[in-house]
Amino acid sequence: MEFSFFVANYPYIFSMLLFSLGWLIIFTQANLIKKVIGINIMESGIFLFFLAVGDIAGGNPPIYVEGVEQVYVNPLPSALILTGIVVSFSITALALSIIIKIYQSYRTIYMPELLRIME
């Protein structure tokens, strides 16, 4: 594979990296807050991917102007991502509120300690 392949496809490669990094963080970090950060990194990877899909080189924002011929970027992926952001926001809110409850009842947010207390 040539270097130009990576240059041309860098948004896809980075989105894949972010996505994988995100779920690796969720699986490997012991701190529950860091797991939530992992969720957000993972979702950012997906959002970046969708934005890259919709992008057209030299495209303008998709706002229609009377009588002007221009190239627009594809607005659909951005619209989808808006929904995705709302979903990821509510997941983060729910996860953080569960973590607050966990801290109140177990006095820890570290997974190994939590597992030890639960035994």
Residues that bind other proteins (CB under 8 A): 19, 22-23, 26, 32, 35, 39, 42-43, 46, 49-50, 53, 76-77, 80, 83-84, 87, 90-91, 94-95, 98-99, 101-102, 105-106, 114, 118
Minimum CB–partner distance for residue 3 and other proteins (Å): 21
- Residue (60 or 90) nearer to other proteins, CB: 90
- Residue (13 or 102) nearer to other proteins, CB: 102
CB-based contact 103:109 (threshold 8 Å): yes
Minimum CB–partner distance for residue 69 and other proteins (Å): 22
- Residue (30 or 98) nearer to other proteins, CB: 98
Minimum CB–partner distance for residue 41 and other proteins (Å): 10
- Residue (70 or 79) nearer to other proteins, CB: 79
Calpha distance 29→27 (Å, rounded): 6
Query: Looking at this protein, which amino acid is placed at residue 45?
Result: G
Contacts of 25 (CB under 8 A, 6+ apart): 34, 35, 37, 38, 41, 42
- Cα torsion for 99, 104, 106, 110, to the nearest 10°? 40
Alpha helices in the chain (DSSP H): 3-8, 10-28, 32-54, 75-106, 111-118
